[in-house]
Amino acid sequence: MSDDAIRLCSVSRRYGTGESAVTALDEVSLAFPEGTFTAVMGPSGSGKSTLLQCAAGLDRPTSGSVVLGGTELTGLSETGLTRLRRERVGFVFQAFNLLPSLTAEQNVALPLRLAGRRPPGSRVREVLGQVGLGERARHRPTELSGGQQQRVALARALITRPEVLFADEPTGALDSRTGHEVLALLRTMVDSEGRTVVMVTHDPVAASWADRVVFLVDGRVHGELAGAGADRVAAHLARLEALPC
Ligand code: ADP
C-alpha cells in the first residue's frame, strides 16, 4: 500500500466575516496517495483554487489540518512554510509565470538559487531534457511557443524534486495539441518517476489523463470518478453544474 503524499483533514477556509463571509472550503477531507495523478474539477467558485492553495501551503486553512509527507502545515511558521514551498512542492500555473529577461535554463535554475543553492548545470540540463527542451536552454520565453514555455515552467517546478506537483489549469492557455503534450509529460512523471500530481482543470479531456477526478461543489467534495474517460467526466460535471444553488 502506498502512503499519502498529502492529506487534508476537515479543511475549511472562510474569507471575511459577518454577512459578507464566504466559505470557500467546507470541511474537506481528501488524501492524495504517492505516485498518483488527481484532477480537481467543479463549477466556477466551487473552491478548486482555494483547495490547491491550502494543500500547497500558499494559503492557510481557517480550520482543519494539511499534512504533506508527514509534516503538519498548519503548525509551520511563515519561514517554515516558505521553505516547504520552495523545497517540497512544485507549481505550474495557467499563465506560465516565467521571468521574461531570463533564459529557459536560468528560469529553471531559479528555485535552487532562491533556496541559496548553486544549481548544477547538469541537473538543469537533465530536467530540460525530460521536458524535451534540451536544445532550447538559451532561449528566452518570448522566443518559445506557449507549449514550450509551459514545459519550461514544468522543468522549473521539477528541479527541486518536489514531493507533490500542483498544477492550476496548466493547459488553460494552450491549444489542444500542445495541451496534450503537457498532459502527457505530467502522466509520464507519475508513471515513470512515481511523482504525485494534483491538477485543477475545467477541461474533461485534461481530467481524463488523471487516475481519478475529485469534484467540488460549494466548497465540499461531491463525488469522484476513477479511470474515467472525457465523456463520463463531462457528463458528471454537467450534472453538478445543473444542481440548484
Ligand atoms: P474556483 O477555483 O473553483 O473557481 P475559488 O477557490 O477561487 O473557486 O473560490 C471559492 C470561493 O471563495 C468563491 O466564492 C470566491 O469568490 C471566494 N474567494 C476566493 N478567494 C477569495 C478571497 N481572497 N477573498 C474573498 N473571497 C474569496
Query: Does any ligand 1 atom lie closer than 6 A to the CB of residue 40?
Result: no
Fold held by 4-94+166-241: Rossmann fold (3.40.50)
pLDDT at 245: 63
Query: Does any ligand 1 atom lie closer than 6 A to the CB of residue 17?
Result: no
What does the block give as the cell for 37?
Answer: 495523478
Query: Does any ligand 1 atom lie closer than 6 A to the CB of residue 45?
Result: yes
What does the block give as the cell for 179?
Answer: 495541451
Structural contact between residues 149 and 98, judged by C-beta atoms closer than 8 angstroms: yes
Cα-to-centroid distance, 131 and ligand 1 (Å):
32
Q: Tell which atom from ligand 1 comes closest to the C-alpha of 216.
A: 3
Strands 212-217, 196-200: pairing is: unpaired
Q: Does pLDDT of 181 surpass 60?
A: yes
Query: Percent of the chain beyond pLDDT 70?
Result: 99
pLDDT at 86: 86
pLDDT bucket at 2, cuts 50 / 70 / 90: low
Give residue 163's Cα distance to chain centre.
11
The residue nearest atom 14 of ligand 1, judged by CA position, is 45
> How far is CA 80 from each of CA 29, 57, 65, 83, rounded to the nearest angstrom?
23, 10, 16, 5
- Over the stretch 225-243, which tens digit does the pLDDT of each residue have? 999 999 999 999 999 888 7
Q: Which of 8, 12, 22 to mutate to test the pocket of ligand 1 (most atoms within 8 A of CB)?
A: 22
Q: Which of 11, 15, 216 to mutate to test the pocket of ligand 1 (most atoms within 8 A of CB)?
A: 15
The residue nearest atom 22 of ligand 1, judged by CA position, is 15
Cα-to-centroid distance, 61 and ligand 1 (Å):
13
Q: Tell which atom from ligand 1 comes closest to the C-alpha of 16.
A: 25
- Over the stretch 156-180, which tens digit does the pLDDT of each residue have? 999 988 999 999 999 998 888 889 9
Q: Does pLDDT of 217 surpass 70?
A: yes
Structural contact between residues 196 and 6, judged by C-beta atoms closer than 8 angstroms: yes
The amino acid present at 72, given as its one-letter code, is E
pLDDT at 194: 92
- Over the stretch 21-35, which tens digit does the pLDDT of each residue have? 999 999 999 999 999
Q: Which of 49, 51, 94 to mutate to test the pocket of ligand 1 (most atoms within 8 A of CB)?
A: 49
- pTM exceeding the 0.85 threshold for the entire prediction: yes
